[in-house]
Amino acid sequence: MDPLVAEAATPLLHSTSSDTSSDADENTPVTSYSFDLKQIGFRCDFLSKSPSGYCPYRQLAVLSGHIGSVSCLALCGEFILSASQGKDIIVWQQPDLRVFTRFGHGEGSVKAVVAVGSKVFTAHQDGKIRVWKVSRRSENNFRLVNTLPTAKDYLGKFMKQRNYVQTRRHHKILWIEHADTISCLAVHNGLIYSGSWDKTLKIWRVSDLKCLESIKAHDDAINGIVICNGIVYSASADGKIKAWGRKKQEQEETHCLLGILEGHKDESMNCVVVSGDGKWVYGGISDGFLMGWEKTGESVSCWKVVWERRAHKMAVLCVCLMGEFLCSGSADKSIGIWRREAFGRLCKVGVINGHDGPIKCLQVAPNGVGEGFLLYSGSLDRSLRVWWVSKASAMGVGALVAEDSKKAIVSF
């Protein structure tokens, strides 16, 4: 397993009973449905046709209960965390997909969530990062323990004028503050990276929650961050993906620009993903295109475009990787399934339809299930859906096409 995936998937909670759902809204259904993953195989009750053939699929669940549209997902051991624009975060327990608990009410619209050990970091529209810790005193509840920047960080910097930066005319803030919505988070090697619509990339230390760096990274809003082999990739509305690496200067290590991957002019780069070996980078663009770059030579500063294609009718909003498979979510309400082939090219092997709104976030379970893998999708239709995707297409069986939500196995 990729060490980054393993770090982010550290179990946070320990289930005490199957009916635990503290803080849950009384109006939210908590009906339990336990499915046996061992029964999922190549055989399927429905076969859908695509231009390239047939392949089984399975939609396992439709989970609803969020106040607003689902904006981000995180997998944490046996739990799934989903957050929404409605400021609420729901913890779902696997395998029965029951609402385990809720937290985060009234703390600002949630844009990103990551887990580190026993803590959860959430990024919000109000420009703050909130730190939550599991309280085991009576029940497994999430307790707000800090907000970034911390009060200690403020006190250490607010007296010196050199610590202030101008964000607009007649308005200054401390360089440790984000001046706009924090859109994305990533964790690696004891550090939290936050990207914001204020065009900056900030680096925070997990151990003491101190802000170490602030980088004026792009000419427009930062939409996505991913880290591979110590290299940080940021995708921006300025149409570029930038690669950042750590460099030792005097007594400290700071981040410097290593390379720029150019996208389409005047089109926003909405998301980015990197292959496990760091050789291939893929980005989703607001014009519906997917683009792929290959690292040439040993230097991370040299990249060339090796593939691009109109992947969706509308903007690509999110992407994720599972081995040789890439999944793309779009504003056209569909999920594209792609297989990586020679020279970094992508071959479309299927489309999943079923959501009633744009696909805002995707996550893939780090471990395969049978001859396939689990895919989680969050949408502006306020639902979280769980899919089983067959890998049969890798052997030339065909393509995956899931039909509408009426064929869901279970709906919450």
pLDDT in tens, 33-59: 445 554 444 333 333 444 444 445 688
Taking only the tens place, the pLDDT of each residue in 77-98 is: 888 999 998 788 999 998 888 9
Residue with tokens 């607003």: 68
- Kindly indicate the confidence band of residue 412, based on its pLDDT and cuts at 50, 70 and 90: very low
Average confidence (pLDDT) over 108-131? 92
Question: Quick count: other Cβ atoms within 10 Å of Cβ 255?
Answer: 18
- What is the band of 352 on the pLDDT scale with cuts at 50, 70, 90? very high
- Cα–Cα dist 370/66, whole Å: 30
Instruction: Read off the pLDDT of each residue in 11-24 and give the average, rounded to a whole number.
Output: 40
**% pLDDT > 70, the chain:** 78
Q: β-strand 211-216 against 119-124: which pairing, if any?
A: unpaired
Q: Is the pLDDT of residue 10 over 50?
A: no
Q: What pLDDT, on the 0 to 100 scale, is given for residue 127?
A: 94
Beta strand 98-103 pairing with 316-322? unpaired
| pLDDT at residue 357 is higher than 70 | yes
Task: Read off the pLDDT of residues 158-174 as tens digits, 9 standing for 90 and up.
Answer: 888 888 888 877 788 99
Mean pLDDT confidence for 372-385: 95
394 to each of 41, 62, 323, 329, 349, how far by Cα in Å? 15, 27, 11, 20, 9
Mean pLDDT, residues 123-131 taken together: 94
- Decide the pairing of beta strands 346-353 and 400-402: parallel
11 band by pLDDT with thresholds 50, 70 and 90? very low
Confidence at residue 34, expressed as pLDDT on a 0 to 100 scale: 46
Residue 322 clears pLDDT 50, i.e. is over it:
yes
pLDDT on residue 161: 87
Q: For residue 138, what pLDDT is reported?
A: 55
Which position has the higher pLDDT, 59 or 395? 59
- pLDDT band of 299, cuts 50, 70, 90: low
Calculate the average pLDDT of the chain: 82
Are the C-beta atoms of 101 and 142 separated by less than 8 Å?
yes
CA 198/CA 222 separation, integer angstroms: 8
> CB count, 10 Å around CB of 244?
25
Split at pLDDT 50, 70, 90, the class of 200 is: very high
163, exposed or middle or buried, with CB in 10 Å at 0-12, 13-18, 19+? Answer: middle
Please say whether the beta carbons of 24 and 203 come within 8 A: no
Q: What is the predicted pLDDT for the residue at 403?
A: 42
Q: What kind of architecture, by CATH, is found in domain 3-14+44-407?
A: 7 Propeller (2.130)
8 A C-beta contact, residue 257 and residue 242 = yes
Closest CA to 182 of 240, 110, 247, 96: 110
What's the average model confidence in pLDDT over 126-139? 83
Dihedral of the alpha carbons of 285, 290, 295, 299, in degrees to the nearest 10: 0
pLDDT at residue 377 tops 80: yes
CA distance 343 to 311: 18
d(CA 142, CA 276): 32
Q: How many CB atoms neighbour CB 32 within 10 A?
A: 14
- pLDDT for the residue numbered 149: 95
Is the alpha carbon torsion for 293, 294, 295, 301 positive or negative? negative
% of the chain surpassing 90 pLDDT: 58
Query: How many other C-beta atoms lie within 10 A of the C-beta of residue 254?
Result: 14
Smallest CA-to-CA distance from 383 within 37, 24, 71, 60 is with 71
Lowest mean pLDDT among 127-136, 286-295, 321-330: 127-136
pTM: 0.84
Provide the 10 A C-beta neighbour count for residue 341. Answer: 11
The pLDDT tens digits of the residues spanning 232-275 come to 999 999 999 999 998 877 677 899 999 999 999 999 999 999 99
Beta strands in 311-397 (DSSP E): 316-322, 325-330, 334-340, 346-353, 359-364, 372-379, 383-390
